[in-house]
Structure 1
């Protein structure tokens, strides 16, 4: 009985659409994060003098520190974006789909 429920859920076109949407969204966020991180690494390798510049005259904080913190903040923001989308879209859709599949029992 449990396996039939799992099979029915997995065979549902709505389930497949939901999985595809979630995968597309997570791959997009992953690609953005990878691009930001490797862009920063390339910047360090190819233009270290720009990252070594201080923020303003007499400052001890360099542009590289600001860029590094910016990458961390963007990673946190992307995580928040995924959590919001999961809570508002993916989870309710999955709950409705599971309820529909349960009715077939």
Structure 2
């Protein structure tokens, strides 16, 4: 995700790089600053870590709705990441978050189905 955002912000690319490209990429000093700035607006970690971060933000901002975006190169990885978060939150009193994630999953499945079978 770091490299994808760096490439977009520097105008080098709008595509999500492969894992191999991201792992081998050599960041400039300016790009490292972009990564540090972007990390402040990301939730990164295991599903349980993400759950803790979402619930903490929910309390701070007094909301039970969030927009979650995962930058994955393939549909299955994207769907799996949302499923992991939804499973962690499904027993939480903030059920609107789970409902929202479920709607995102449904949207991605329908959208990608339309693209594939166009």
Larger Rg: 1
Flag the structure with higher helix content: 1
- TM-score normalised according to structure 2 size: 0.26
Q: Which has the higher contact order (CA 8 A, sep 6+)?
A: 1
